[in-house]
Amino acid sequence: MSEHSSFMEPITRENVAVVLVDHQVGLLSGVRDIPLGELKHNVVALARGATVLGIPLVVTTTAADSMWGPTAAELVQALPAGQEIIDRSTVNAWHDDRVREAIEATDRQKLVFAGVSLEVCAALPAISATAAGYGAYVAVDASGTFSQAKHEAGLLRMQQAGVIISDYATLMVEALADNAAPDAGALYAALDMPFAVLVGQISAAYLA
């Protein structure tokens, strides 16, 4: 399948995995291109949405005990029970055999990446995955970096390499595919989209 036709194929809950890279407290403290509360909200929603849809997660940190600290507590709480967090030393998560093998074990050909920083932790493995023949996407609003210049440079490099840029809610709603699906309500609740209001939730609140 050509690169173009690969990206024309939609994301589904059966063909995609989510890879969360280095949402660690030390790195998050330097994020300047998106409000920290918004970033945490978005990556938590991405993890919860993927879990609702049964989409596998691969989660990793860099030097959690020596440099960048643990994964943000809000994200840890949103992960499925028993979810492994792979700590590594490589800058590019794709270069860690355990991370790459965990991705391969999902048997999914499309990968949604999010990371801190955007231009390193999300971009580098997404570019490597693209080179390896995967369809790589980056949820830019579930990622963050340390300046607007880094944000723009990261986007440009990914686009030059063929990585698709999107946002957390669009990617998960695309995987849902049908609003009549039994888990649609649970997905929208997990996504907690601040830009949309579910009429059903409003009705339930009035009836409560």
Catalytic residues: 121
Q: Please name every residue paired with 21 in a beta bridge, in sequence order, or none if there are none.
A: 60, 115
With H, G, I as helix, E, B as strand and everything else as coil, classify residue 123. helix
**Using CA atoms in the order 48, 159, 10, 107, what is the torsion angle rounded to 10 degrees?**
-70
φ/ψ of residue 132, rounded to 5? -85, 0
Q: Which residues have CB under 8 Å from 94's CB, separation 6+?
A: 100, 124, 125, 128, 129, 132
